[in-house]
Each structure stands twice: as C-alpha cells, then as structure tokens.
C-alpha cells in the first residue's frame, strides 16, 4: 500500500517512481512487439538510407 495525498502532494513522487519502474520492467512478448512494429511501418513510409528503404527483421534489439 502506498500512501499519498492529492491535496498536499505528499508521496506523489514516490508513487510515480514506482509506477515508472513497474512499466519499465514489464515484459512484452516478441510476437506482440513485432506485430506492433509491422503496423507502424505499414502506416509510414520508411526513409531512404543510401537509396534503399530501412528494413528490420525484428523489433527488438537483441
């Protein structure tokens, strides 16, 4: 349980730090990430790099 006050603002910074940490550490499955990435690429034309379109095999860097 986290105690904070909307009236005085006490504990709000701690609440947001914990919320941020929870979101940052959330695992997103590779398949879901790849589908999202493919949808984003379909909506936008990728820029040309040395005359070729940018291509990524996987949405995750590892």
Q: Could you tell me the end-to-end alpha-carbon distance of the chain, in angstroms, rounded to an integer?
A: 36
**Average pLDDT score over the chain:** 81
The string over 13-28, giving b where at least 16 C-beta atoms fall within 10 Å of a residue's C-beta and e elsewhere, is eeeeeeeeeeeeeeee
Joined together, the tokens standing for residue 21 give 């940490």
Please, are residues 61 and 30 in contact by the beta-carbon 8 Å criterion?
no
Residue 7, strand partner residues = none
pLDDT (mean) for 13-27 = 89
Residue ranges per structural domain of the chain: 1-62
pLDDT (mean) for 24-33 = 87
62 pLDDT above the threshold of 60: no
């Amino acid at each position: 349980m986290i105690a904070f006050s909307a009236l005085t603002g006490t504990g709000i910074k701690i609440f947001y730090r914990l919320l941020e940490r929870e979101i940052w550490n959330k695992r997103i499955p590779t398949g879901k990430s790849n589908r999202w990435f493919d949808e984003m690429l379909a909506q936008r034309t990728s820029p040309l790099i040395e005359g070729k379109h940018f291509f990524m095999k996987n949405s995750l860097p590892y």
